[in-house]
Chain A
């Protein structure tokens, strides 16, 4: 019995350790959520295809700290984004602003779609005329058809 108790006592520090890790990692979860939301929109320039929020690069950590510090100072998200683009350019934004240098980026897919639609329309029209789909009959053709139908010696369709 005594032995079991002492073994259990050995486990006590483990329980204490577990209780420690369950505590929230940051002192201000609301601020941290805002930091993560904004940095998810910003590109890490070191790894380029990762957001600042995801990246563990040294610079990304520094920039996240910078964002956090600016938020604590009460700066708005727009001000922080301007701070970043002033230094690193529009490239840091995953959603670049619409302007002269980016219109191709924004309009490109729609322009391509319009071109594809126009091409498809043209193709279908051309195919219809090429296969000679029945259109309107001329008055002479109408007359001839009527004559044929009324003459009676046309072969009965089975």
Chain B
């Protein structure tokens, strides 16, 4: 009896570990910035380069920071959803235009619609490094006190939006 039980137990443990391993997404690296203050920045606005914007301007509001670039294919995939979200006026959406050509970015927004309350430009990617961005698109949920509460890596699907991001936003909005 024992001689069958032990290999079976070892096999069961292996199956459990491998099943967990299969479910993990190696692309999704947990961010150490969750529940930490959103890194400060002061960046030029895309539409009006003479104006600047920083996270402190949005204190007291729950808001989303979406990292994107006109060169980014997955951003195009999630874009219609962001445009829809913007129409609902539930939450302000700030676009961080990452390592992009401002002219190309403006054309992109002109062609596909502009969901952003305000867009800022990060031409050398220095601010994106502070946010631990490693691939666009990435989206951060930031609370009233300027603390990062959630990070979504990759394009947002309708399920991600209604199942994860919006519930978190609503909870934070109280």
B134 at the interface (CB under 8 A from A): yes
Minimal beta-carbon separation of B115 from chain A (angstroms): 25
Interface pair B26/A48, CB less than 8 Å apart: yes
Q: A45-B29, A48-B26, A58-B99 are in contact. Are A88 and B132 (CB under 8 A)?
A: yes
On chain B, the residues within 8 Å of A89 by CB distance are 29-32, 132
Please encode chain A, from 78 to 109, with 1 for each CB lying within 8 Å of some chain B CB and 0 for all others. 00000001111111000000000000000000
A63 at the interface (CB under 8 A from B): yes
Which chain A residues numbered 32 to 73 have a C-beta less than 8 Å away from chain B? Answer: 45-46, 48, 58-59, 62-63, 66
CA distance A55 to B131 in the complex (A): 21
Interface pair B134/A46, CB less than 8 Å apart: yes
Q: A46-B135, A59-B134 are in contact. Are A88 and B29 (CB under 8 A)?
A: yes
On chain B, the residues within 8 Å of A91 by CB distance are 29-30
- The majority secondary structure among interface residues of chain A is helix
CA distance A66 to B132 in the complex (A): 13
CA distance A80 to B159 in the complex (A): 38
Which chain B residues numbered 20 to 38 have a C-beta less than 8 Å away from chain A? Answer: 26-27, 29-33
On chain A, the residues within 8 Å of B27 by CB distance are 48
B60 at the interface (CB under 8 A from A): no
On chain B, the residues within 8 Å of A66 by CB distance are 126, 129
Please encode chain B, from 66 to 95, with 1 for each CB lying within 8 Å of some chain A CB and 0 for all others. 000000000000000000000000000000
Interface pair A62/B124, CB less than 8 Å apart: yes
Partner pick for B125 among A48, A59, A86, CB 8 A cutoff:
A59
Interface residues on A, range: 10 to 19
Interface pair A63/B129, CB less than 8 Å apart: yes
Partner pick for A62 among B32, B125, B131, CB 8 A cutoff:
B125
Interface pair B29/A86, CB less than 8 Å apart: no
Which chain B residues numbered 96 to 148 have a C-beta less than 8 Å away from chain A? Answer: 99, 124-126, 129-132, 134-135
On chain B, the residues within 8 Å of A59 by CB distance are 125, 134-135
Minimal beta-carbon separation of B77 from chain A (angstroms): 18
Interface pair A88/B26, CB less than 8 Å apart: no
Minimal beta-carbon separation of A11 from chain B (angstroms): 42
Choose among B29, B30, B33 the residue with the greatest number of A CB atoms under 10 Å from its CB.
B29
On chain B, the residues within 8 Å of A58 by CB distance are 99, 125
CA distance A89 to B32 in the complex (A): 5
On chain B, the residues within 8 Å of A48 by CB distance are 26-27
Q: Which 8 A-B pairs have the closest CB atoms?
A: A45-B134, A87-B132, A89-B32, A91-B29, A88-B132, A62-B125, A59-B134, A46-B134
A-B CB contact pairs (8 Å), 23 listed: A45-B29, A45-B134, A45-B135, A46-B134, A58-B125, A59-B125, A59-B134, A59-B135, A62-B124, A62-B125, A62-B129, A66-B129, A87-B32, A87-B33, A87-B129, A88-B29, A88-B31, A88-B32, A88-B132, A89-B29, A89-B32, A89-B132, A91-B30
